Amino acid sequence: MIAVHTGELREAARTLEAGARVLLSGTVYTARDAAHQRIVALLDEGGDLPFPLDGACVYYAGPTPARPGQVIGSCGPTTSDRMDPYTPRLLALGLCGMIGKGGRAETVCQAMQAYGAVYFCAVGGAGALAAQCVRSCEEIAFHDLGCESVKRLEMEAFPLVVAVDARGGNLFRRAEARA
C-alpha cells in the first residue's frame, strides 16, 4: 500500500501505476453528474467555482445524511462514465485525481495522460466502510441537490486502487485484453 496525501497528489499522479493500491488522505470533494454540469456552466459564465480545480481530487459520490454521532452516512462511489463529458475540460484546468467505479472513455484517458492525472477506483457496495475514512464533511455548494451537493471531505487512509494512470496504464484495458 502506498500512502498518498492529496496535497502531494499532483506529483504522485505522475508516478503512480495502474494496479497500485493506495491509502489516500487529505481533502477530497464530492461531485456527481448534476454538480459537474453546474460546474461547467459556471466555467462558461465566468462564475466562481465551489472549490479550486488546480490540484483537486474529486470523489464521484453522493453521501447519505449522517446519523447522530456520525460524520457522514454511506459514501460509496458512483459510476464514473457519467462524468466523462465534463472531465477533459476539468483536467485541463488542473484537476489531478478522480475517484469512482467503472471504466473511463478514451478521451478522458488521453486527457489524463496530457495533464498528468490519476483515476482511482473505490470498492462499490462498501459505502459504509468508505464512510469510516471520512474525518469531516462540509457541504459547500449546490445545496438544492441534496445528497449530490458538493461536499468537502477530509479523508484518512481511504483504500483505493489506481485504475488508470497518467502514463496510459489502464486496468480495464488489461482485463479486456485477457478476456
CATH code of residue 154 = 3.20.130.10
With cut-offs at 50, 70 and 90, classify the pLDDT of residue 125: confident
Q: What is the pLDDT of residue 34?
A: 96
With cut-offs at 50, 70 and 90, classify the pLDDT of residue 176: low
The overall pTM is greater than 0.85: yes
| 150-164 vs 21-30, strand pairing mode | antiparallel
Single out the residue of 86, 84, 87, 67 nearest to residue 75, CA to CA. 67
- 35-80 pLDDT per residue, tens: 999 999 999 999 999 999 999 999 999 999 999 989 999 999 999 9
| 143 in catalytic set | no
Neighbour tally for 27: CB within 10 Å: 17
Q: What is the pLDDT of residue 158?
A: 96
Q: What is the mean pLDDT of residues 157-179?
A: 87
Domain count for the chain, please give it: 1
Catalytic residue among 6, 9, 20, 36: 36
Express as a percent the part of the chain with pLDDT over 70.
97
Domain range for 158: 2-178
Q: What is the pLDDT of residue 52?
A: 95
Q: What is the mean pLDDT of residues 19-45?
A: 97
Q: What is the mean pLDDT of residues 143-166?
A: 96
